[in-house]
Structure 1
């Protein structure tokens, strides 16, 4: 399970409204916006608007149950997941603004790849591809992967310094094997998690990260974090008991 918190800014409210208008067109607009207020911990949409316009907008815990309950009272059966995905996209947008080299597959541009005709990508081609990968971070699938990542990272202990063995690529594989749920109990994982969404979730939760370049000086897509390697090792063995790490650990312990 995860806990999702977002800053209730005017732009956040507008983004959630727009996503729910697209995804829940059958729900009356007046009911949708009132439900958003409840889902963000306010008594009404008017109270939500007033809170968002404060000099320092509050941080709200996203509560899909309150959102869905209000709509049910008014004759609409809606899964809380709709609200969580819309709010997750708000959180992801903030991370993209804070980390301008983040995209769906990780960080930076990497080495130029070969085109179909055998030539190397130009810098313009690389940048166009990078922008496409940035845009992929804002879809519903990416939002669910972000939430799966939050669920896993809620179990990870923060450390003072960035540690080895805490790579995003390893963590994304653990996250996509994690049998997690939405707060109300609906299944969320296991399912695919792109590297960039694991990174986005870690940044959103306040973890520090360290980036790298390869031996030719190109951006590496992965990062490491100020997380406990011991906790990650335990999670890896628990969640992927047939994985290489878990099997090696079991053999070492048997020999000991």
Structure 2
């Protein structure tokens, strides 16, 4: 299970509203926005809007239960996952605005890939690929991966300094193998988590990070965080007991 908190700025509220309009068209607009207000801890949508327009918008914790309760009172039956994913989209969007080099697979371009003819990608080709990977961060699987990452990272202790042994690539494998649910029930994981979305979740929570380059000067696309290596080791033993403490670059278990 995860805890999802978000600063209820005007842009965040609008993003949540827009996303739910697309995925819940059967719900009357006035009921949908009122449900958003309840889901973010406000008595009404008007109260949410007023708070969002203050000089310091508050941080709200997303409650799928409150969201559902209001809609059921209006005779709608739906899934709280819609609400959680909409809030996740808003959170990811905010992270992307503050981390312009972050994309679905991590930070920066990395080494130029190979074209079909064997030539190396040009900077223009790399940038085009980067734009596509940024857009991937706002897809459905990215929102769900973000929530899976929050579920894992909620169990990781913060440290004062960034640790080299607390890297995003290992953490993303733990997150995608982590058995977790939505707060109101319903399976969330295990399932795929990309490196970039794990990083986005860590930045959203407030972890500090450092990036690195390889021996040729290219971005590794990974990040290290101010997280307890001991806590990560314990989680690894719990989540991937078959690994026996070994490092892995494998993909998520089926």
Residues 8-46 of structure 1: per-residue CA shift (max 9 Å, x gap) = 111111111110000000111111000000001101111
Match of 2:63? 63
State whether structure 2 residue 32 is matched by structure 1 residue 32: yes
Distance 1:140 1:54 in 2: 31
Shift of 1:164: 2.2
Shift of 1:134: 0.5
Residues 143-193 of structure 1: per-residue CA shift (max 9 Å, x gap) = 110000000000000000111211100000011010011111221101100
Match of 1:53? 53
Match of 2:250? none
Match of 2:15? 15
For the Cα contact (< 8 Å) 1:236–1:246, is it kept in 2? no
Match of 2:154? 154
Match of 2:252? none
SS at match of 1:69: helix
For the Cα contact (< 8 Å) 1:65–1:80, is it kept in 2? yes
Greater C-alpha Rg: 1
State whether structure 2 residue 218 is matched by structure 1 residue 218: yes
Distance 2:80 2:243 in 1: 33
Shift of 1:246: 6.2
Residues 93-127 of structure 1: per-residue CA shift (max 9 Å, x gap) = 11111111110001110111111122211111100
Report how many aligned residue pairs link the two structures: 247
Match of 1:97? 97
Shift of 1:244: 4.5
CA RMSD in angstroms comes to 1.1
Tell me the TM-score normalised to structure 2 length. 0.95
For the Cα contact (< 8 Å) 2:237–2:244, is it kept in 1? no
Tell me the TM-score normalised to structure 1 length. 0.94
Are residues 108 and 39 of structure 1, via their aligned partners in 2, closer, same or farther at CA, if it must alter by over 3 Å?
Answer: same
Regions of 4+ moved over 4 Å: none
Distance 2:124 2:117 in 1: 17
Residues 69-109 of structure 1: per-residue CA shift (max 9 Å, x gap) = 11111111111110000000111011111111110001110
Between Structure 1 and Structure 2, the one with more strand by share is 2
For the Cα contact (< 8 Å) 1:105–1:221, is it kept in 2? yes
Distance 1:57 1:234 in 2: 37
For the Cα contact (< 8 Å) 1:167–1:225, is it kept in 2? yes
SS at match of 2:48: helix
Pairing 1:185-204 to 2, within 5 Å after superposition: 185-204=185-204
